[in-house]
Chain A
Amino acid sequence: MSKKMPISVTVNGQTHDLLAEPRELLIYVLRERLDITGPHVGCETSHCGACTVLMDGKSVKACTVFAAQANGASITTVEGLGTPDSLHALQRSFREHHGLQCGYCTPGMITRAAKLLEENPTPTEAEVRFGMAGNLCRCTGYQNIVKSILAAADEMNAEQEVAE
Chain B
Amino acid sequence: MIPTAFDYHRPTDLESVISLLETHGDEARVLAGGHSLIPMMKLRMADVGHLIDLQDVSGLQEVTVAGSQVTLGAMVTQHALIDHAELASVAPLIREAALEIADPQVRYMGTVGGNLANGDPGNDMPGIMQCLDASILLQGPEGERTVAARDYYEAAYMTERRDDEVLVSVRFEAPSGGHAYVKQKRKIGDYATAAAAVVLTRAGDAVGSASIAMTNLSDTPVWSEAAGRALIGSACDEAAVKAAVDAMLGDIEPYESNHGPVEFKRHAAASVLTRAIARAWERA
Contact with A along B31-59 (1 / 0, CB 8 A): 10011001101100000000101010000
- The total number of A-B Cβ pairs within 8 Å is 86
Q: How large is the interface on A (under 10, 10 to 19, 20 to 34, 35 or more residues)?
A: 20 to 34
Check A69 against B105 for contact (C-beta < 8 Å): no
Which of A31-39, A54-62, A145-153 touches B?
A: A54-62
5 examples of A-B residue contacts, CB within 8 angstroms: A45-B42, A49-B105, A69-B55, A112-B104, A134-B189
B2 within 8 A of A: yes
Q: State whether A22 touches B6 (Cβ < 8 A).
A: yes
Going nearest first, the 7 A-B pairs with the smallest beta carbon separation are: A134-B103, A2-B5, A22-B8, A58-B108, A68-B8, A134-B105, A133-B188
Are A61 and B104 neighbours in the complex by a CB distance under 8 Å?
no
Q: Which residue of A lies closest to B49 (CB)?
A: A2
Interface residues of A in 1-40 (CB under 8 A from B): 1-3, 5, 21-25
Q: Which residues of A contact B189 (CB under 8 A)?
A: 47, 133-134
Taking the complex as formed, is A65 at the interface, i.e. its CB lies under 8 A from any CB of chain B?
A: yes
CB-CB under 8 A from A60, the residues of chain B are 105, 108-109
- Contact A64/B104 with A22-B8, A58-B79 known, Cβ cut-off 8 Å: no
Q: Which size class do B's interface residues fall under?
A: 20 to 34
Q: Does the CB pair A64–B2 fall under 8 Å?
A: no
On chain A, the residues within 8 Å of B8 by CB distance are: 5, 22, 66, 68
Residues in A104-159 with C-beta less than 8 Å from chain B: 112, 116, 130-134
Q: Does A44 contact B (CB under 8 A)?
A: yes
User: Nearest residue in B to A28 (C-beta to C-beta)?
Assistant: B2
In the complex, which residues of chain A have a beta carbon less than 8 angstroms from the beta carbon of B35?
Answer: 46, 64
Q: Are A134 and B104 in contact (CB under 8 A)?
A: yes
Query: Shortest CB–CB separation between residue B106 and chain A, in angstroms?
Result: 6
- In the complex, the answer to whether B53 meets A61 with C-beta atoms within 8 Å is no
In the bound complex, how far is the Cα of B100 from the Cα of A133, in angstroms?
12
B34 and A65: CB pair below 8 A?
yes
Q: Which of B1-20 contact A (CB under 8 A)?
A: 1-8, 10
> Which of the residues A21, A69, A71, A130 comes within 8 Å of B5, measured between beta carbons?
A21
Q: Are A44 and B7 also in contact (CB < 8 A) when A60-B105, A64-B38, A134-B189 are? A: no
Q: How far is A83 from B35 in the complex, measured between Cα atoms in Å? A: 32
Instruction: Evaluate whether A22 and B7 lie within 8 angstroms (CB atoms) in the complex, with A69-B34, A69-B55 already known.
Output: yes
The complex places the Cα of A22 from the Cα of B2 at a distance, in Å, of 11
Residues of chain B within 8 A (CB-CB) of A134 are 102-106, 188-189
Closest A residue, CB atoms, query B107: A134
B34, B41, B79, B105 interface centre (most CB from chain A within 10 Å):
B105
Cβ of A52 within 8 Å of any chain B Cβ, yes or no, is: yes
- Identify 8 new A-B residue pairs, CB closer than 8 A, beyond the known A22-B6, A23-B2: A46-B39, A46-B105, A66-B8, A66-B51, A69-B34, A130-B104, A134-B103, A134-B105
